[in-house]
Structure formats: C-alpha cells, structure tokens
A and B are shown apart, each in its own frame.
Chain A
Amino acid sequence: MQESASAPFAAAPARPAEQLRVQSPFVRTVRRLLRNRSAQVGLAIITLLVLIALFADVIAPYAYDQQIRQSGLRRRSPPCIHLLGCDRDKPQLLMGLDSNFRDLFSRVVYGSRLSLQIGFLTTGAAILIGTLLGAAAGYAGGWADNAIMRIMDVLLAFPSLLLAIAIVSVLGPGLINTLLAVAIVSIPVYARVVRASVLSVKEMDYIAASHALGASPLRILFVRILPNSLTPLIVVGTLGIATAILDAAGLSFLGLGAQPPTPEWGLMLGEERNSVFNAPHLVFFPGIAIMITVLGFNLLGDGLRDALDPRRKA
C-alpha cells in the first residue's frame, strides 16, 4: 500500500534545487499578507498610530491639559493653520481650542495611547478566554456545552454596552473599570463564534478520518479543528478591537469611563457634544481619530483573513 502510494513520486523527474526548498506556512502567510492591499493600508495606519502614540511627547505642541490663554483666542476657537493663511500672530492650532482653552490636536495625539491600550488589552483577554470556552463547548458537546453556553447566553442576554454600563456602575466609573467591563462583556461573542465554527468543522470528513486513525480528542481539537476555525475568529477579533475601542469610547461619552482631564477620545466627544452646532470641529476631530484607529484594525483583519485562508489565492 505504502509502496504503491509513493511510486508516482519516485518516478517523477528530479526538480531544480530551489523549487524543492520548503516554504513554511508562516512565511507563506506573511508574504500573502504583505501583498494584500487591505493589510497594507491597515498595517500602515496601525504603524502610524503606534508611532504617534510612542512619540506623542514630541508630536504634540502642548501638554494635553495645558490651557492656552492669549488675547484674541476665544474658547472653542476654530482651527488656525498658518499654511492655509491663518494670521501668523496667532498660535498655530491644527484642530482648534476646546471649551477649556486646551489644544485639541495635542489632546487627540495623546488620546492615541489610550485607545491602542484599550483595544489590545481588552480584546486579547477576551479572545483568550472566549476561545477556550467556545472550543471546549463545541467539541465536548453534551452537558459541558450546555453549561458553558447557558452562562454565555446569560451574559449575551444583555446588550454589551448595557452590561458594561451595569458593571461600571458597580465597580465605579474610571478607565480601568471600563477596561474590565468591556473585556468581560466581549468574552461570549468569541465563545459563540468559536463554538459555531467548531460545530461546523467537527462535521467535516477529515475530522471523522482523524477519529478513525485513532487521534486523541485533544489532538483533534487543537491540531485539526481549532486551526480550521480560526479564520472567522480573526475576522471577528479585529472587529472586536473595534468594538472594544467603540464601547470604551461610548462609556466615556456617557461619563462613566475615563474622567476629565484624561485625553480619551470618547470623553472628548461627550464633553463637547452640545457644541456640535456652533463648534463642530470639537466633535469632528476626536470622532475621526476613533474612526481611523478602528479602520486600521478592520483593514488588517480583512487582509489576515485572505492570507490565512489556504483555499483562496492572494
């Protein structure tokens, strides 16, 4: 049997040396990823954001809580850019002044630090716990599945922001508590997605084949099923970073998250939401900052999805 299977290979003509060199799946994936347009844009945005966050002290012309009081400068002054013909006697204010005479541009720059931390920390923790729970539930089935998923159902039974609001009102308002709340409420989403794809992968013929070959349940779960269930998790996970940043911003918007004078984008929007009709720049720029950050993660996720799916050509 074995001999007959290997016979065609033995008979095949020898290939040139470079074609025989084996490319690891990881290298192949990274190459595919770097060739992907969405991933390129996403990576560029995230790299830029990380650089802005790292060098915020250098980039921001003022401290995030510094008030700029000068004659001719009003509260909520619109942006003043010298290159665009703004009076050179006035200080350059790329995004204008906020209601407390602070430079909005500096605050937005410092805000990048917070948003990146919020996204990575909360989503990382939630994915780790959610994947373990969802995989265990989907693969084990029976009472374990029921027990885990009913608990997840109870958590999922609350709209995420409402549950986060409830948790924050118990823990008390603040940034750390917001991170905890956002992480807790997003666990069930990952558990469900992983379970759903484990359920559908579990029915595939190659899993039955693995069973027939005598592979252990743990090996089947971690080597056969989970890697094939990861693609949807990565798509949902990148959206999850988005959701985490958005939920945290929402909590801050309602006054339950980061507290003044923290330069958190959601808080900045919440503080200035009544100025939207007379000083729209105060609402516009923090929102754009949130959008670009979230966009970066979404695009990278799209690219990863294409790169990780072996069935699709780059």
Chain B
Amino acid sequence: MWRFLIRRLLLLLPVMLGILIVTFVLVRLIPGDPCKAMLGERATEEKCNAFRERFGLNDAIPIQFVRYFGSVLQGDFGTSIKNGRPVTDVLAERLPMTMELTFFATLFATAFGIALGVISAVRHNTGVDVGAMVFANIGVSMPVFWLGLMLAYIFALALKGTPFQLPPSGRLTAGTDLPSLLKVWGMEDAQGIQRFVVLLISNSVLLNSLIQGRLDVFADALRHLILPAAAVGTISLAIIARMTRGAMLDALTQDYVRVARAKGLAERAVILKHTFRNALVPIVTIIGLQVGGLLSGAVLTETVFSLPGVGTQIVDAIIARDYPVVQAFTVLIAIIFVVVNLIVDLSYAYLNPRIRVS
C-alpha cells in the first residue's frame, strides 16, 4: 500500500506541471491585448510598452513561463493587473466562500444521495424505489442556476413572512459586522504564508464567527448558505443516488450475496457488509467526479446568489484579462480537484485489493 501511495504521489508532479502549462498557455491564448483591456482602447503605444515592461509581458513566452513557475513554487502568484493587489490576498478573500459552499453542497449531496440510493436498491421496484428515482431523475435534470433562481423565488418571496423564509442573496445580512482576524489577533503586519493562512480562516465567515464566539453571525451565515448549497448539491445528490442504486443492484445479483444470505446472515449485514462495501468503488468514483461539477455549480450559483466567491471573481478576471488572477484561481482549483482525485484512487486500492496488486 505504501509503495502504491508513493508512486501515486510522484505521478502527481507531472499533473501539477501539466496544470501550470495548460493554464499558462490557455491564458496567453485569450485574444486581445491585456494592456488595452486594462488601460482602455485609447492607451498610447508608449503607455502600453511601459505596462508590458512592468508585468514582463514583452519577454518570450517560455521565459515568462519559467519566471511564473519559479514564483509559484515560492507561493507568489504575482499582483493583479486590474487593481495591483497581491493575488494571494484576492485568493484568500474569495476562496473560503467557494470552499464553504462546495463543502456543504458535497455533504448534502453525499449524505442524502447514498441514503436514497441504498434504500432504493434494497426496496427495488416498490413505491419507495419509484418515488426516490422519480425525484432523483427530476433532480439530475435541473440546471443549477435555474434551481437557484426558483429556490430564491420560493423561499424569499412565496414563503415571505413564514418561518421558512430564507435570504435570496449575499453572504451575511446587510449591516452585520465581523472584524477580520488579522485585526482581532493584532497581526496586521503579518506577511507571507502566515498572512495568507490567517486571511483564509478570517474570510471563512463560518470559521471566523466560531473563533470569535459570534454564534448569531454563524447562524446568519449558515442561513445564507442553505439555498445556494441546496441548489449546487441537488444535481450531485441525484447522480450519487442513481449511481448508488445501480451499483447496489449490480452487487445484489452477485453470488457472494446469495451465499451470505444462505449462511443465514441478517439482511442488514448482507446489505451493509457484503453488498455496500462491494458497491463502493463506482460510488466513490462518482463522488470524486462530482467535486468538479460542484465547483462548476458553485461558479454559476454564486452569480445567482451574488456571493463573493471564486466563480464571480474568475468570470470578472477573464473578461478583464487579468492574467495573474485567472491563472492563480484556475491552478488552485485544479490542485484541489487533483488531490480529491488522488484520494479517490487511493480509496479504489483500499476497496479493491486486486487493483493495488497490479
């Protein structure tokens, strides 16, 4: 198992390099001059040259890449062309929102999806199965941004004045004040990785409010997350439920299940120990694949619910041709996603010993 783990970790290196190359090349291929995009269409050639000189855009592409690669290794993503702020600050500001949203959406989708799928498979061809699968089929068919809009309409307008009313947009109720942890801990001068980590925790409203003991703010932030997380998670919930049901039905037809029943095991043990464990490989695969979908969903949903996350930022940055920001966000999201995929692969090996032997 250890050799397998080390080999997989080594294999990550070329993938990381690939991500950096793809992002770098794609961003450079975006048509249009970043100078004109930043300084306006009427910027003089002189001004543009100074601009390109300042951001190193006059050098050959390979040189730009080597320089970029070197600074990324040192945790430096450059400064935003648009507003001159360090990109790490922008990252630390936007990432926590998207991570919170994706985390709760994943939790929602996995918990309900697996439960729904297992129940459906065990009660195959009953009313419960049909009902669950009708729900799953409808859930998987909805565009996430449409579901978001509809949820906002239902819970903010139609249910207004009832206990079920939920806020349709924003991260916190307007006027709520939550000081930055940099200030609270007196670390305003902190630099580098320390500053980045503190900013990351500070900008996660949920963590920050818990640390400061502001349970009212925590509850408010959770309330603002319910609709977006449900919107983002519903498609994945349905996909996981379908996959779980399919894998369980497959596993239920296997001989070892018949043997388990024949030797008199309780049905509960047959389902959980013999069937579910063997159905887990495809289920884990599909959950791993969902994380990308959930992050994409977060991009669209943030637009619908006006949330200050990665999604809204990356679309803005692409439109503004803010190279460093686009690069940093894409690389970071890609790395998160690769690590999740690694965990999926490792769990394959854990779940099916035949794979790791080969």
Contact = CB atoms under 8 A, between A and B. Distances in A.
B100 to A, nearest CB: 16
Given A162-B314, A276-B149, A290-B146, 16 more contacts: A38-B133, A38-B137, A150-B14, A158-B337, A161-B297, A161-B300, A165-B299, A166-B330, A192-B285, A193-B285, A250-B300, A253-B145, A280-B153, A283-B153, A290-B142, A312-B249
B149 A250 contact: no
Interface of B: 11, 14-15, 18-19, 22-23, 26-27, 29-31, 133, 137-138, 140-147, 149-150, 152-153, 156-157, 235, 239, 242-243, 246, 249-250, 253, 281-282, 285, 289, 291-293, 295-297, 299-300, 303-304, 314-315, 318, 326, 330, 333-335, 337-338, 341, 348, 352, 354-355, 358
B-side interface mostly: helix
Contacts of A292: 141
Contacts of A293: 141
A14 B30 CA distance: 74
B126 to A, nearest CB: 13
16 contacts: A153-B338, A153-B341, A159-B295, A159-B333, A162-B296, A165-B314, A166-B330, A170-B29, A192-B289, A193-B285, A235-B243, A246-B144, A246-B235, A253-B143, A273-B149, A284-B150
Contacts of B29: 170
B330 A250 contact: no
A49 B334 CA distance: 37
A294 interface: yes
A294 B299 contact: no
Contact of A269 (B138, B143, B289): B143
Interface string A176-212: 0000000000000100110010011001000000000
A291 B149 contact: no
Interface in A243-296: 243, 246-247, 249-250, 253-254, 266, 269-270, 273, 276-277, 280, 283-284, 286-287, 290-295
B145 A250 contact: yes
Contacts of A199: 355
Contact of A170 (B31, B315, B341, B355): B31
